[in-house]
Structure 1
Amino acid sequence: MQERVILVVGYDGAELLDIACVTSSLDIANRIGANPPYRAVLATPGEHSITCDSGLQLHAQAALERFNAPMDTLLISGGLGHTQAAASQLLVGHVRRLATLARRVASVCTGATVLAEAGLLTNRRATTHWMYAEQLARSYPEVQVDPDPIYIRDGHIATSGGVTSALDLTLAFIEEDHGMALARGVALGVVAYLQRPGAQAQMSMFLARRSTDDLVVRRTTNHIVSHLGDDLSISALAAIAGVSERHLSRLFLTYVHEAPAQYVRRARTEAAAHLLTSTELPVAAVARRCGFGTTETLRQAFLTHYSVPPSRYRLDHQSS
């Protein structure tokens, strides 16, 4: 193979970061030794320039309707113009055609809408920006939409979440193509965290916990993340909050969209992930500090949340 052609599909209203996270990462991969090298090509209908969400213009390098060569990866960018792009029979038809020429197909952010309209996500798991997940699921009920992961691989098709998750997906592709060492080099080049697992939530609960205006929920979640090693049973939390267990559960389901016990488990798991990648504490010590009764309980939580055991998570994600 002379080169790996990555065909990036753009349109008016595309998000610049959705495109640049991919193309800049591939360029760095080439500079530090990707062999065969990548060649990123921006394709648009008619090879017309596009105006991104930010107002900046990008010049296309190829016309969708005239591109007929086999390629390594077909990637659909996202952006506020995704609904208009999905409504274009010309664009969607050529995406459907080009998908047959690609080894793998991917989307960034709301680019999943175009893939869904082309029928490429039918009966597949997929993700998109968490703000648009409900809209995608409602418009395409045949797609199994999961709003949480940073990216999802289902066969040869990958979808990623919002904006900078394009970087995580691209790093995963580089690792798949050239190995962990090159992917780590690219991550260092863009000063990025290598590498958030695809199963990690797009919106960390340490940020999400501050988004509710309900005082009881905010006070309780603040207590949880500050006292992970304490008794955080529903009865203990209800006593701290000064409400009944039933009322606290109802508040959590309303404002946090999960039961208190689920929130506690997620908080402990994310905190453990941070300790594993930022300290040299033994796994057993991490488990104790984060409120897991045993290392096996911690292991089960990681398998559920990240699809890998704690030791593997540390090996893959600890800074060198």
Structure 2
Amino acid sequence: MQTPRAIACTIYPDVQVLDVTGPLQVFASANVELQRQGRPAGYSLHLLADAVGPVACSAGFSLLAEAAREDQDPARFDTVLVPGGWGAEAQLRNAPLLAWLQRAEPRVRRLGSVCSGALILAQAGLLDGRLATTHWDSVEALRTRHPAVEVAADRLHTYDPSGREGDGHVFTSAGVTTGIDLALALVEHDLGRAIALAVARRLVMFLRRPGGQAQFSRFLAPEATHAPRLSSLLEWIPGQLAGDLSLEVLAERACMPPRTLSRVFRRELGMTPGHYVERVRVEAASALLAHAQTSVSTVARLCGFGHPETLRRSFHKHLAVSPQAFAERFGAGAPRAGG
């Protein structure tokens, strides 16, 4: 009988509780699906901390660590996960934790983080030269403190066993619930897509989101707060997607020379005006496709892409999925969760 893969999550005071319980529930639900098929459990789950006992999480209650991390040989674990949360900053000075992660990296098959747990992996030097993401609120800290890390802000996770768009050994995920997406990707690699989709249905999710999908909608991003010179323009753009949103048109609307507008966009939003417009158009198109309101060709026209092929290229660039696949995965006709 195959031995279950041991999944360890290291916890600490003020850890974000969903960073811990979300991924672990995915592995637990995978065990349920396997057992429904008469197969043995695929995973054993373990909570580690500085010491055995209760650890107060961000929600005010405690999680129970079954083992002291220093007493555990990392080699006994298949996968180690490092969650984030309010308490992550203090863990950047936890030398025993950082040293244990450094010992674990060459000895475990997979080492990953959820949310701001990426800052802990980076502090241990384990993300240098690697693609990494984190919660959108921690992206700038990761980028500034660890310039050797290739920070990708608009990703759900960087797990990719093929190595083409991430890493199958050391990887990261973005904010909070993206730990669930990461865990589903791990389950899919271990046990196959059918089990991963069964878990997603059981957890009442719209199947599995691709790792390359953006973290959050540009319509909901607090860009106006951080870019006061652009606030009026950013509010205007979503209503004009089918029209001409060239640099010259945007500059005229913003009452700035085109070169000045480009500099302001780069400084305040970290991207060009054209990239921003494309992202908003992709978000609008994904919303239409998710609600099954019209065809792909009509969506392309309404959102300013003109031709379906242009829409397809933009979807692959920003969401790592085609419009058709997105509609099948997230649209109104997508399979719904079971009980």
* TM-score, structure 1 normalization: 0.89
Q: How does 1:86-97 map to 2 (within 5 A)?
A: 86-97=92-103
2:21 maps to 1:20? yes
- In the alignment, is the contact (CA less than 8 A) between 1:212 and 1:255 conserved in 2? no
SS in 2 for 1:46: coil
1:135-177 C-alpha deviation (Å, 9 max, x unpaired): 2233323222222212112231120112121112112222222
1:207-232 C-alpha deviation (Å, 9 max, x unpaired): 01664376763332233212321222
SS in 2 for 1:49: strand
Q: 2:105 aligns with which of 94, 99, 106?
A: 99
**Closer/same/farther in 2, CA of residues 233 and 209 from structure 1, 3 Å limit:** farther
CA distance in 2, matches of 1:249, 1:291: 21
Aligned to 1:73: 79
- The number of residues matched between the two structures is 320
2:55 maps to 1:50? yes
2:64 maps to 1:59? yes
Q: Read off the aligned partner of 1:7 and give its amino acid letter.
A: A
**Closer/same/farther in 2, CA of residues 157 and 200 from structure 1, 3 Å limit:** same
1:99-158 C-alpha deviation (Å, 9 max, x unpaired): 333221110112112222333212111111222222223332322222221211223112
CA distance in 2, matches of 1:285, 1:194: 25
CA distance in 2, matches of 1:60, 1:224: 49
CA distance in 1, matches of 2:280, 2:144: 30
SS in 2 for 1:7: strand
CA distance in 2, matches of 1:201, 1:226: 21
Aligned to 1:9: 10
Aligned to 1:129: 135
CA distance in 1, matches of 2:253, 2:145: 42
CA distance in 2, matches of 1:131, 1:215: 18
Q: How does 1:159-178 map to 2 (within 5 A)?
A: 159-178=172-191
**Closer/same/farther in 2, CA of residues 91 and 303 from structure 1, 3 Å limit:** same
CA distance in 2, matches of 1:54, 1:61: 20
Q: How does 1:208-227 map to 2 (within 5 A)?
A: 208=221, 211-212=224-225, 217-227=230-240
CA distance in 1, matches of 2:247, 2:268: 16
Aligned to 1:115: 121
- In the alignment, is the contact (CA less than 8 A) between 2:223 and 2:269 conserved in 1? no
SS in 1 for 2:270: coil
Q: Read off the aligned partner of 1:202 and give its amino acid letter.
A: Q
Mark the runs of 5 or more structure 2 residues left unpaired by the alignment.
Answer: 160-166
CA distance in 2, matches of 1:14, 1:195: 25
Aligned to 2:270: 257
Which moved further from structure 2: 274-283 or 20-29?
274-283
- In the alignment, is the contact (CA less than 8 A) between 1:8 and 1:74 conserved in 2? yes
**Closer/same/farther in 2, CA of residues 46 and 160 from structure 1, 3 Å limit:** same
Q: Read off the aligned partner of 2:20 and give its amino acid letter.
A: I
Aligned to 2:247: 234
Q: 1:277 aligns with which of 275, 278, 290?
A: 290
**Closer/same/farther in 2, CA of residues 261 and 209 from structure 1, 3 Å limit:** farther
**Closer/same/farther in 2, CA of residues 133 and 240 from structure 1, 3 Å limit:** closer
Q: Read off the aligned partner of 1:237 and give its amino acid letter.
A: L
Q: How does 1:197-212 map to 2 (within 5 A)?
A: 197-208=210-221, 211-212=224-225
1:276-307 C-alpha deviation (Å, 9 max, x unpaired): 33317432222112111212211221222123
- In the alignment, is the contact (CA less than 8 A) between 2:224 and 2:230 conserved in 1? no
CA distance in 2, matches of 1:111, 1:248: 35
- In the alignment, is the contact (CA less than 8 A) between 2:227 and 2:269 conserved in 1? no
2:308 maps to 1:303? no
Mark the runs of 5 or more structure 1 residues left unpaired by the alignment.
Answer: none
CA distance in 1, matches of 2:82, 2:251: 47
CA distance in 1, matches of 2:149, 2:255: 42
**Closer/same/farther in 2, CA of residues 165 and 211 from structure 1, 3 Å limit:** farther
Aligned to 2:162: none
Q: How does 1:308-319 map to 2 (within 5 A)?
A: 308-318=321-331, 319=334
Which moved further from structure 2: 210-219 or 23-32?
210-219
2:138 maps to 1:146? no
CA distance in 2, matches of 1:144, 1:16: 27
CA distance in 2, matches of 1:292, 1:252: 22
CA distance in 2, matches of 1:133, 1:97: 26
CA distance in 2, matches of 1:261, 1:292: 13
